[in-house]
Amino acid sequence: MCIYCGTTKYRKIYENHYDPIPKDETGRTYDIHHIDGNRKNNKPENLKAVTIQEHYDIHYAQRDWSACHRIATKMNLSHEHLSELTKLHNKKMVENGTHPFLGGGWSKINSRKMVENGTHPWLSGEVQRKSNQDRIEAGTHHLLMRPDGSSQTKDRVTNRTHNWLGGEQVRARVESGTHHWLGGELQRKQIEEGTHPTQQEWKCEYCDKVGKGRSNYHRYHGMNCIYA
């Protein structure tokens, strides 16, 4: 918190100590970059106003893929670009041993061994791509849809062979036909009425971006918006 401004909101701190945050030629307000990379260090001398493209370029040069992904989302870059940034971020965490999927015990040792000898699937997509291709050619990939539009996943849930089952409560919902994986009446009714969570429109009160789907709002906007 700035002792002079009495707030932890770095954009407000910047404006209190400097000038109003400028806008680019499209009317978009500049981002505020933390010079030392520590987003909790909101001292005025650590804050710099930059365009969103400049902000992205700074973090890209620093190989800060997580920050790049956050900024790229605001820039509405393609899903392919966002996916590539995610892969770069995961690869970096695997290489430095901080990825949560590395786990502990034998799993962590085995993952580190694959990283060291270069065979870990996150380091190169070849292993995963070959595995997926083999499953597609064999017709066993869980995401495959049949020519008639039916789903292998739904069939596996129906006949209780899907590994997502497991609990008695889940099995009971499958047997009663109310599980959402089977396409329950409630979900269909919500979609028809336009009240399904994925159809709900929202507008961020901080960056004014609009969209659909409450999960996206809660993840990137509202209190999690970088302008909050």
Question: Contact at 8 Å (CB) between 58 and 24?
Answer: no
**In this structure, is residue 93 part of a structural domain?**
yes
Domain boundary among 74, 101, 116: 116
CB contact set of 194 (below 8 Å; sequence gap of 6+): none
Residue 198 sits in the same domain as residue 109: no
Nearest alpha carbon to residue 59 among 47, 72, 75: 72
Residue 20 located in a structural domain: yes
Bridge-based pairing of strands 47-50 and 31-34 is antiparallel
In the chain, which residues have pLDDT < 70? 1-4, 100-132, 139-154, 157-171, 174-175, 177-185, 226-228
**Given this model, what pLDDT does residue 218 score?**
77
What is the pTM (predicted TM-score) of this model?
0.47
Residue 163 lies in a domain: no
Q: Quote the pLDDT of residue 50.
A: 93
Q: What is the distance between the alpha carbons of residues 32 and 52, in angstroms, rounded to a whole number?
A: 9
112 and 188 both lie in a single domain: no
**Token duo for residue 188:** 């269909």
Residue 53 falls inside a structural domain:
yes
* Domain tally, the chain: 2
Q: Cα(12)–Cα(6) distance, rounded to whole angstroms?
A: 10
Among 95, 116, 137, residue at a domain's last position: 116
In a domain, 131, yes or no: no
- Note down the domain range covering 199: 184-228
Whether residue 164 is contained in a domain is answered as no
Q: Does one domain contain both 110 and 193?
A: no
* Closest to 206 in 3D by CA, of 36, 39, 29: 29
In a domain, 136, yes or no: no
Strand positions, DSSP E, the chain: 31-34, 47-50, 201-203, 210-212
Closest to 66 in 3D by CA, of 220, 228, 214: 220
- Distance between CA atoms of 128 and 134, rounded to whole angstroms? 10
Q: What span, in angstroms and rounded, lies between the C-alpha atoms of 97 and 84?
A: 20
The pLDDT assigned to 124 comes to 55
Asked if residue 178 is part of any domain, the answer here is no
Pull the structure tokens for residue 160.
């209780």
Residues whose CB falls within 8 Å of the CB of residue 4, separated by 6 or more in sequence, listed in order: 16, 17
Q: Could you say which of 116, 140, 175 is where a domain stops?
A: 116
